[in-house]
Amino acid sequence: AQKITQTQPGMFVQEKEAVTLDCTYDTSDPSYGLFWYKQPSSGEMIFLIYQGSYDQQNATEGRYSLNFQKARKSANLVISASQLGDSAMYFCAMREGQSNYQLIWGAGTKLIIKP
Amino acid sequence: DVKVTQSSRYLVKRTGEKVFLECVQDMDHENMFWYRQDPGLGLRLIYFSYDVKMKEKGDIPEGYSVSREKKERFSLILESASTNQTSMYLCASSPYLAGLGSREQYFGPGTRLTVT
């Protein structure tokens, strides 16, 4: 079974609009961490934001915020005021508490910002 | 800033050749990882290392081996390259994590390997 599911293979969004990228996860471990990465066409994976399973507040980093709904096992990335430079692949990943090392990755969402 | 470098951005090899992909990080991280990335499949872990000379298999280790003789360097070896190993290879590093916290992995620019 998929542990990380990103249901949107691709999205088009108008510049300056907010965009939500979906991520659902599956784990029975009470301790886990959720990550979002951006991969521009250059190829390098760039860390955006992190949410721990015990964090009380939703994580925010500048224009990025994570809409964490624990009961629904969802960790959606919200980008406010999208910019052309936000066009990229976006990946959701999870680290389960038992493993210090491995991240489990979703298949990604290709986001294209239209001018 | 953490810097992870990979020896080549693009590489073309012939079937049956031995291929070395090198990765170097400059932040004294304990953990290093090799992934391959294929469209629609996300990132799949090949091997990781949590210390010098220590390695663990990831999800798809078949056809690959690794070497970590120095803390900053982690090499991926394709003993006999095959066309189904044509892919993007990403190296990453992260510090050791004593508890559960935000310890993101830092990635290199990737090597796009084509095996003909």
- Say yes or no for a CB contact (<8 Å) between A108 and B101: no
Measured CA to CA, the distance from residue B54 to residue A32 in angstroms comes to 25
Report, as an integer, the average pLDDT of A9-35.
94
- B102: pLDDT strictly greater than 60: no
- Say yes or no for a CB contact (<8 Å) between A100 and B96: yes
pLDDT at A8: 93
Question: pLDDT by residue (tens digit) across A33-88?
Answer: 999 999 999 888 999 999 999 888 999 999 999 999 999 999 999 999 999 999 99
- B107: pLDDT strictly greater than 60: yes
User: Which ranges constitute the DSSP H helices of chain A?
Assistant: none
In this structure, the number of other CB atoms found within 10 A of the CB of residue B69 comes to 9
Q: Which residue type occupies B91?
A: C
Residues 22-81 of B with CB under 8 A from A: 31, 33, 40-45, 48, 50, 56, 58
**8 Å CB contact between A23 and A7:** no
- Kindly report the average pLDDT of chain A as a whole number: 92
Report, as an integer, the average pLDDT of B42-71.
94
Measured CA to CA, the distance from residue B29 to residue B4 in angstroms comes to 10
**8 Å CB contact between B47 and B67:** no
Q: What percent of chain A has pLDDT over 90?
A: 77
Measured CA to CA, the distance from residue B100 to residue B104 in angstroms comes to 11
Report in angstroms the alpha-carbon separations of A36 from A39, A70, B68, B80.
10, 16, 28, 34
